[in-house]
Amino acid sequence: MGLDSDNSIYGWGRGGQRVRGAAPQEGHGHTSTVVAALRPRDLAAPLVVAGPMDGALFLA
C-alpha cells in the first residue's frame, strides 16, 4: 500500500502497518496572485502577478 494521493500526508496501511512515503514538493515556494473585479455576470480586469500581495500592489 502507499499514500492515497500525490500530496497527502496520510495513507492507508495493511493490518496496522505503518505507511512510509513522501509527498512531492513541486512548486514549493512560488506564489501567484490573481486580482480581478467580480461583476454579477462576468469577471473583469483580471491581473496575475508573480509573488504575494503586498502594500505596493494593493495601492497600485
- Render pLDDT for 13-53 as a digit per residue (tens, 0 to 9): 787 787 777 766 666 667 889 999 999 999 999 999 998 88
- List of residues 6+ apart from 32 with CB closer than 8 A: 48, 49, 50, 51
Residue 6 or 59, more confident: 59
Please, what's the b/e burial string for 47-57 (b: 16 or more CB within 10 A of its CB; e: otherwise)?
eeeeeeeeeee
Residue 34: the pLDDT is: 92
Residue 15, Ramachandran bin (φ over 0: left; ψ between -120 and 50: alpha; else beta):
left
Query: In whole angstroms, what is the distance from residue 9 CA to residue 25 CA?
Result: 12
